[in-house]
Structure 1
């Protein structure tokens, strides 16, 4: 990748509408909104989002929030489960922060008005794959994300935060290596915007829209990762893309998720012949980590010549199903499936990105003034495979940490911005290549990968990247440029890592190679060739034995 423009748009800052903030937050999911509430005490906070404030991934989250909140559980037990699921690449320090600080933030979320399912004065806790005990807080059965988003949006509306909706943030603005805010534009009018800020927090979520099948909504195009990389930040762990094992196998885009909690409540996975197959793949059966269940379903469907398997909860009474999973039950009914009577057709789909912008545990990206938290960031907390229901917990813990770091940055004075980039060269009119890119990702950078497929996909992504219409103030153009860049980075990382581990499976390197690959792969923002990566060693985790 010899050509990488510093900016994705051309904006004359002198003619742009300027907004001044102490802290600018890009994204409005759990990480961004919680960071905003925590940051409000430090100064003027602006929240920028591509669509309406509640249109991110958080409302789609069904399962819940994992936290050690009962006497039978502990942060140490949660840490062990997280480290085991992460396949040897979790940062123990990051996981320790997650599991020790997490319970307090869940309690604060309740204080802020989130209404979780209760029995009397006790939280009802669910169990999901790879968790040793019940520790999943949930709301309205299977609508946890929607309730969390509701509570946080309500609090933000009442706080001293300014919300800018339907604004596309295209690039970070830097002066001598320090981020001084961002440049973007109104998605409806194309009006250019200069968003000055002493601290900028990226909380833009993931990148599921890079795949032809995903649970992620339309806003998840990897914008924050691409923006940070162009600004000079490193990225890490991008080869680890989590494919959720059980999305509803009907014609939907994005796909409807069938929560891990369904298996946690006893649902069984059956193949085309009606045989339960998971015990043949892992002793933990349906409650094995997501990467193991996903590949088992892929293999079973391939072996039996079908495009799905069955998730069977019919042994449970109708009333129990409707009470615990009301949204899933209703959605299945709308597609002609009564899950109390017959199994649900399911198949894996792109769901979550373990990698992202490399940050320290205080959310600093390495570009002064630019912070990142939530799915866009990579602290090493998820390793090679995220433990179910740790994602919203990560948003809370590191959203709070990002706000604290932003507060420190607010003490600094901003330098004046002298110039901003013009388009790097003349560009052709925008041509929509997103469907082609998505299919390339699914076919070659998906559940099972090979060196040949990755190399072919990478070459195509680099071609697409060179052809992008940088300079055009159009949401689709900016998103496509970001998608092409991130697709190339993911494919490059997957090609470099010559082993299989967690969510990254190479059929040409099917074994885990701890001798050579016990570390986190980092890509630096330089012309992308074979020398532009490094492996940061990560100590292997030895789980405690009973």
Structure 2
């Protein structure tokens, strides 16, 4: 494929939903979705909890959901964005239902709404504990039915191409690695949408899959896009502890909403010391309370206690969590489950407006890689899938309306992609990757403020990586991903440094 009207990079809920919206509205436009692995391999596929939507306007209200979101975000949310997202939620939900997505109902046929930390009401629609997989499956099936959408798996985008026009940077195409044919190629596009997900693999302990290397942030940064608030990495408080595991298995927030307790080695609940909501406080508060307890006790984890719950009903709600626990010899009905906070979600990212536009013309960002203003410094549980849907919709509307005013830029670039690096070079990258993950994990756990030392080490790793590129004279997927990880790690540290310096000036 030499050109496409719209190039969407990433195949999670945001990218797929955006493609469907444009594909249906404008069947005359060509749309290509590039994903660096298989289409199903995304954070969306792993989402357990569900999607937060106000459906019960007697007990619940838009205003309550808005206030819950603002409180969770610690005063850093954009209130107008919060209102837009929450008011759009029922319409976007109906669009998911229209393509076949199923959400659980009770015996009376009413939504079986879940409760999660930070929410004042039950408002989480879910499909057992595999909500993301249910949504992703139906989005993919819908994509296959639209003839103007091409899905390209094993296509890793390296960088977007830009040109200056009348003093403004324009996005004109992208260089990508065709991993099957081992070639670097170029595609022209009138519009590009980044929907590449998060950067959890920068940390040693994370729920994010191996593909979550911050590619979109790095690509956008190199192109000149504004990146904002990357210091706000959300740690999920209840990941199942397994030594030397990456990624960790997530135990949904909904389990605590169902009534599970968090206890220490003495089987005592302790979260109430930090917040009167206990286990149903927001993720940042619960994670910090657990971290303090771990530090005081010297034990590597605390426990999730489900033993007092109705297990038949528990299994009905959380079959995949129960089954996974059993594979490692744990039985939630009689055993305490070891848990630990781990990196889960980036609240910052590529800065966009309400139409999902970046500061670069023709370049949009949606989903976790974007910074919309919804989350502030801490995401309210199950607001992420909702955000992805709303901003995918916003982008689709703007693109469909304005793309006819755009034209393809001429380009004749072609690069050669050689054979992958040898095993010894794979080990070389793995060694650096583990060092970076350990360094970033320690930085967040200890709040280490030696920014210069960390930034210098990141820079030296980057120089070593570039040196290997010149030595081998070839591009590899490992090199691309690790370079992106280093770029994003540096941005996180720099944003964290700026926050600390601002705080020092304030006080």
Structure 1 CA distance for aligned equivalents of residues 150 and 202 of structure 2: 30
TM-score in terms of structure 1 length:
0.85
1:422 Cα deviation from its structure 2 partner: 11
Aligned partner of 1:142 in structure 2 is 129
Asked whether the equivalents of residues 4 and 30 of structure 2 are also in contact (C-alpha less than 8 Å), the reply is yes
- TM-fit CA distance, 1:404: 1.8
For residue 474 of structure 1, report the CA deviation from its aligned partner: 1.2
User: Within the alignment, does 1:486 sit opposite 2:488 as a pair?
Assistant: yes
Deviation at 1:121, TM superposition (A): 3.0
Structure 1 equivalent of residue 422 of structure 2: none
Q: Which residue of 2 aligns with 1:414?
A: 408
CA contact (8 A) 2:302 2:339 kept: yes
Q: Which moved more, 1:114-123 or 1:229-238?
A: 114-123
Q: How does 1:159-238 map to 2 (within 5 A)?
A: 159-160=146-147, 161-176=149-164, 177-238=169-230
Q: Which runs of 5+ in 1 are unaligned?
A: 1-17, 424-428, 501-508, 518-546
Q: Distance in 1 between matches of 2:103 and 2:220?
A: 35
**C-alpha separation in 2, matches of 1:239 and 1:409:** 34
**Structure 1 position 53 matched with structure 2 position 47:** no
Specify whether residues 34 and 171 from structure 1 end up closer, same or farther in structure 2 by C-alpha distance, changes over 3 A only.
same
- In the alignment, structure 2 segments of 5+ residues that lack a partner are 418-424
- State how 1:175-324 maps to structure 2 within 5 Å: 175-176=163-164, 177-251=169-243, 252-324=245-317
Q: 1:443 maps to which residue?
A: 442
Q: Please name the residue that 1:84 is paired with.
A: 71
Structure 2 CA distance for aligned equivalents of residues 192 and 422 of structure 1: 6
2:83 equivalent to 1:96: yes
CA–CA distance in structure 1, aligned partners of residues 266 and 259 of structure 2: 20
Q: Alpha-carbon deviations, 1:427-446, whole Å to 9, x = none?
A: xx7841211111111111x2
Give per-residue Cα distances to partners, 1:109-137, cap 9 Å, x unaligned: 01110011112432110000000000000
**What is the alpha-carbon distance in structure 2 between the residues aligned to residue 105 and residue 455 of structure 1?**
45
Distance in 2, matches of 1:272 and 1:435, equals 30
Q: Output the aligned Cα RMSD.
A: 2.1
Q: Counterparts of 1:465 and 1:335 in 2: how far apart (Å)?
A: 38
Q: 1:382-434 CA deviation, whole Å, 9 max, x = no partner?
A: 000000000111110001111122223421112223668999xxxxx784121
Q: 1:34 aligns with which of 6, 9, 17?
A: 17
| Structure whose residues are more often helix by fraction | 2
Distance 2:335 2:363 in 1: 50
Match of 1:477 among 476, 479, 489: 479
Deviation (angstroms), 1:159:
1.3
CA distance in 2, matches of 1:39, 1:305: 53
1:117 maps onto 2:104 in alignment: yes
Q: CA separation in 2, counterparts of 1:410 and 1:98?
A: 24
- Equivalents in 1 of 2:2, 2:341: separation in Å? 43
